Amino acid sequence: MTAHVGKELSLIFGGILDVFLLTSLEQEKLSLDNKSAKASGVVLVENEITRITEWNFPKCGDNTGWHEHECDYSVIPMFSGILKIDDGTTISESSVEIGKPYFRKKGARHDVINGNDFPCSFIEIEYL
Ligand code: NI
């Protein structure tokens, strides 16, 4: 998700991306990316091979915001429950299981929404 955000951050930090530096500034940057988005993303690892982001959805209905995946990616859910996927035409529901990853090819365009009445999160691994 939001593959271009990391590139912008790379420019800001001159390529020296360190998870210990990515605190409030990154949160602000990620939330500015889509004003309707209520989920927050924290980049845990970024290098020339991969970017690993933890996405947190505090409430039911919280969403990533509309985005297009520019890279193949995997998602590891940190909860068991429902992710709603808005592809711009329909909203579908995906059952996910804690710790059970799924893989998607680049090109996906969607908004991802917390479909649970509890906070949820997942780890996204992008293959740059
Ligand atoms: Ni996505």
Distance 1 CA to ligand 1 centre (A): 4
pLDDT digits (tens, 9 = 90+) for 54-104: 999 999 999 999 999 999 999 999 999 999 999 999 999 999 999 999 999
H-helix segments, the chain: 3-12, 24-32
What's the CA-to-centroid distance between 9 and ligand 1, angstroms?
19
Walk me through the domains of the chain, giving residue ranges and CATH numbers. Answer: 3-127 (2.60.120.10)
Which of 105, 104, 122 shows the shortest CA–CA distance to 113? 122
What is the C-alpha to C-alpha distance for residues 1 and 71, in angstroms, rounded to an integer?
9
Query: For all residues of the chain together, what is the average pLDDT?
Result: 82
CA of 3 from ligand 1 middle (Å) equals: 9
Look up the pTM and report it.
0.72
